[in-house]
Structure 1
Amino acid sequence: MTSVFWKKTHLSVAVGSVCLALSSVSQAVVLVGGDNGWEVSFDGNVNSFLVLERPDAKPDNVVGGTISGDQDSARVRTGLLPAVFAFNVRSPIVNGLRGSARIGFYPQVQNAKTKNQFGSQVDFREAFFKVEGEFGDVLMGRALSLFQGKNLLTDMTLFGLGVQGGVDGGGTTLGRIGYGYVYPQFNAGIRYTTPDYSGFKLSAGIFDPSKIAGDVSATETDMPRFEAELSYGAPLGNGRILGWVSAMTQSADFATGGDSVRSSGIAGGISYDLDMGLGFVLSGYVGKGLGSTLMLDSDSLDSVGEERDNHGFLAQATYTMGKTKLGLSYGESDTKETRADQLVRLSTGARQIEKQSSVTLGLYHDVNAWLKIAAEYNYSKNEWYGSGGAQDSNALGLGAFFLW
């Protein structure tokens, strides 16, 4: 459950972000100005994992894939969640309106295989304010995007590792990013969310547009990106159900002229948590020009500027016994080869990524309200078009979170 202060302020926008995920966390609250109604709070976590990974060698002449080369590795690093220190401010109600704001700093701890590493990546993921009233709320600033946001938030590896990805970088692990969903990212935008209507909520917004990139890049953007999400949550039988559908569309033009390109997609999912401790999640997405792992600006387009088709899904089952959760999940992300990709493969032998899949077995235990430990085993596999083999990897991780 989220903290009392979060229940009062409703500052957790989608991930509130990871703080929606930072369940069972005590939160420090400072009242500013005595009885004038202003409130200031802060929250966060520091986490660290030991990760041991043994990948196969990457096949020759392949493009894409997020498993590191045949480098057996031992790393001490953050997991899928970075560390975070965030500030929250909430106003009193004036003329039926309440304001709130959040700014979050998200650093990582690893040295990236360099002893004299004098700085780790710091990600300013959140900087937004929100105005609430009987009409719903309006959020302005940088927060988790709507499209595929809940696909990420319902992933059990949020408190673990999932797929490690690059072993020498300064970022987080991947979880199931590229292995069940595409990373929604934290983006600048303006969004409106309706009040709760018998469990239904609708959010829609405009977002700062991105270039759409791949083998070539469409970099000119004269219209914002549009995203929306419809969700429904309610008790059902001896449990609680949550369902959602989200969508996104954005166009971009090539600086050299010619046709514009458009990225678009639909995502959705359903989760059901039973009072007896069982929990199930099934989510997925389909679209074009989305990219295989990072949305829009990595491998969305082929060499002639055609959007690649993408789809993927995640299936997950968990069982909670007291303060301990055991989970098993499978996810995959698939990219369709275009005609230009086929011609490149036949002429040069270069093969595009076709499928990224993984299986994760995880054990997560709340020692108390501020200490969580986690252990995971992850098997991941990358496959490319044509013949020439695949690449797989086995990884073990053990770590802990300090939460406040």
Structure 2
Amino acid sequence: MKNCQYFIAAGIFISSCAQAEIMVLEDNGYTFGVDGWVILNASSTRGDAEGNDAFRITSGDSPNMIGFNFGVPEFEGIKANARLGLRINPHSGQGNQKNLGNIGSTASQSIDPREIYASFDGDFGQVVIGKQYSIFNGRPVLADASVLAGGFFAYDIANDGGALGAGSLHSGYLYANFNSGIRYNSPFDSPFKVSLALYDPSKIQSVLASVANKPVASKTTSPRIEGELSYSDTFNGGSYTLYADSIYQKAENCQIGGSKCSAGSDVEASGYSAGIDLKLGAFGFFASGFQGEGLGSALQLDFDSLDDAGRERESSGYWLQTTAKVTPNTKLRLSYGETTIDDTAATKGHTAKGTVLGIYHDYGDHIALYSEIGRSEFDLNPVFLQATETDYVTAGVRLMW
């Protein structure tokens, strides 16, 4: 079972699909293989706020990963596989406390089990159970050339304990995250595909400095629902995919400092997004947009989804990326995105803009070098409570197998 199989089944294409799984066992229908990557990413950032300035050596946008893939013999037309994907950060805070000042948050725990799922494939399509990458706004995250490279720090917090890159998630799209649930994917051999999923629901809350009252709706009595429709086809010299996806979740018992939120007890998060992934010869183009309420402006549901009165905040954004292979092994990339979270009567919103220019060079099938420069702009950074412009210079190396 290849590591990229699940992502392809979900209609999401990630550059790691080029990697080759190392097959350890193939015996009477039983299979066991290993895949993964190691990334080291050096970033220098300079910005308007004190917390924007830093030099960091981290794993970039994605933590380092090792994945274990298991398969059992087909039975009555159903092929069952399982995957365990473990992430680890080179700046981990466990086992090395000497530089604790930069590795204190939960984003830097030694082992992060982001994937643990089983898939069941047959004529009906595919059912996936367990912890997996979720649907809504997932495609732009994985289309981003920074997903296995550099990208921005979330809200440009350069010295946050996690200090991982965050692609362009605060300026163009939201982070889908890895969630526990059950997902259905329609058969892969049809150009028209459907994905539906029920996920473990999240608290809907705000924790950033821009929301002083820190409201949280913590009672969840129903699952989060996500779905996607997509259509893919080829033409002379290229291919394209069109998609649209959506999300809905409810949470109750909205509280501010132990008291009921003035906007009421029930909170609803909902949204939709759509986009196109186009490939034409050596060129690629990806465009996406999203709109919703109660979603926040970076990490879905968890960072700044509610205002100071406990009302759902509206947010929207778009992200564009174009790539070009200048040699068979060298790719150039330019991306631009914007995210806006609207003002409410209780809380001021903001607009964030992000631009990245990158070059990525492959040495054979397993080694890559890359460099990125970027600028991230906020008219009101919700962490630093001021306008910020942050410049990025990044260089890194990646080994994949």
Do they superpose with TM above 0.5?
Answer: yes
2:343 to 328, 337, 341: 337
Residues 114 and 329 (structure 1), Cα distance of their counterparts in 2 relative to 1, 3 Å cut? farther
Residues 29 and 17 (structure 1), Cα distance of their counterparts in 2 relative to 1, 3 Å cut? farther
Q: Which residue of 2 aligns with 1:381?
A: 377
Shift of 1:172: 2.1
Structure 2: unaligned runs, 5 residues or longer? 207-213
Q: Which residue of 2 aligns with 1:344?
A: none
Q: Is 1:88 matched with 2:79?
A: no
2:202 to 182, 206, 210: 210
Amino acid at match of 2:66: F
Q: Which residue of 1 aligns with 2:393?
A: 396
Alignment of structure 1 residues 309-348 onto 2, 5 Å: 309-320=314-325, 321-341=327-347
214-223 or 191-200: bigger deviation = 191-200
Q: Which residue of 1 aligns with 2:144?
A: 155
User: Is the 1:6–1:12 contact (alpha carbons within 8 Å) kept by the matching residues of 2?
Assistant: no
Residues 16 and 188 (structure 1), Cα distance of their counterparts in 2 relative to 1, 3 Å cut? farther
| Identical columns (%) | 34
2:39 to 16, 34, 47: 47
User: Is the 2:233–2:239 contact (alpha carbons within 8 Å) kept by the matching residues of 1?
Assistant: yes
Residue by residue over 1:303-352, the C-alpha shift from the partner in whole angstroms, topping out at 9 and shown as x without a partner, is 111100000010111101211100101011110011122xxxxxxxxxx4
Q: Distance in 1 between matches of 2:150 and 2:335?
A: 13
Q: Which residue of 2 aligns with 1:297?
A: 302
Alignment of structure 1 residues 2-151 onto 2, 5 Å: 6=2, 10-12=5-7, 20-32=14-26, 34=27, 36-57=28-49, 69-110=50-91, 115-117=98-100, 120-121=108-109, 122-151=111-140
Shift of 1:71: 5.0
Shift of 1:218: 0.7
Residues 167 and 255 (structure 1), Cα distance of their counterparts in 2 relative to 1, 3 Å cut? closer
Shift of 1:14: 6.8
Q: Which residue of 2 aligns with 1:348?
A: none
Residue by residue over 1:158-200, the C-alpha shift from the partner in whole angstroms, topping out at 9 and shown as x without a partner, is 1321212332322521111111111100000111111136411
Amino acid at match of 2:114: R
Q: Distance in 2 between matches of 1:243 and 1:6?
A: 24
Shift of 1:302: 0.8
Q: Distance in 2 between matches of 1:17 and 1:242?
A: 10
User: Is the 1:192–1:203 contact (alpha carbons within 8 Å) kept by the matching residues of 2?
Assistant: yes
Alignment of structure 1 residues 151-190 onto 2, 5 Å: 151-164=140-153, 165-168=156-159, 169-190=161-182
Shift of 1:219: 0.6
Shift of 1:49: 1.2
Amino acid at match of 1:359: T
Q: Is 1:228 matched with 2:227?
A: yes
Alignment of structure 1 residues 236-385 onto 2, 5 Å: 236-254=235-253, 258-275=264-281, 277-320=282-325, 321-341=327-347, 352-384=348-380
Amino acid at match of 1:239: G
Structure-1-length-normalised TM-score:
0.86
Residues 170 and 16 (structure 1), Cα distance of their counterparts in 2 relative to 1, 3 Å cut? farther
Q: Distance in 2 between matches of 1:400 and 1:15?
A: 28
Structure-2-length-normalised TM-score:
0.87
**Secondary structure at 2:141 match in 1:** helix
Shift of 1:243: 1.4
Shift of 1:89: 0.6
Shift of 1:369: 0.8
Shift of 1:12: 3.8
User: Is the 2:217–2:265 contact (alpha carbons within 8 Å) kept by the matching residues of 1?
Assistant: no
Q: Distance in 2 between matches of 1:378 and 1:15?
A: 30
Shift of 1:393: 0.8
User: Is the 2:52–2:390 contact (alpha carbons within 8 Å) kept by the matching residues of 1?
Assistant: no
Shift of 1:75: 1.2
Residue by residue over 1:210-249, the C-alpha shift from the partner in whole angstroms, topping out at 9 and shown as x without a partner, is 1111231111010100000111211033211011111000
**Secondary structure at 2:86 match in 1:** strand
Q: Distance in 2 between matches of 1:148 and 1:208?
A: 17
Q: Distance in 2 between matches of 1:40 and 1:191?
A: 23
Q: Which residue of 2 aligns with 1:199?
A: 191
- What is the aligned residue count? 373
Q: Distance in 1 between matches of 2:197 and 2:163?
A: 28
Q: Distance in 2 between matches of 1:199 and 1:394?
A: 41
Q: Which residue of 1 aligns with 2:211?
A: none
Structure 1: unaligned runs, 5 residues or longer? 58-68, 342-351
User: Is the 2:9–2:188 contact (alpha carbons within 8 Å) kept by the matching residues of 1?
Assistant: no
Residues 93 and 56 (structure 1), Cα distance of their counterparts in 2 relative to 1, 3 Å cut? same
**Secondary structure at 2:146 match in 1:** helix
Q: Distance in 2 between matches of 1:182 and 1:159?
A: 17
Residues 370 and 334 (structure 1), Cα distance of their counterparts in 2 relative to 1, 3 Å cut? same
Q: Distance in 1 between matches of 2:202 and 2:65?
A: 25
Q: Distance in 2 between matches of 1:124 and 1:13?
A: 21
Q: Distance in 1 between matches of 2:97 and 2:74?
A: 51
Q: Distance in 1 between matches of 2:334 and 2:287?
A: 12
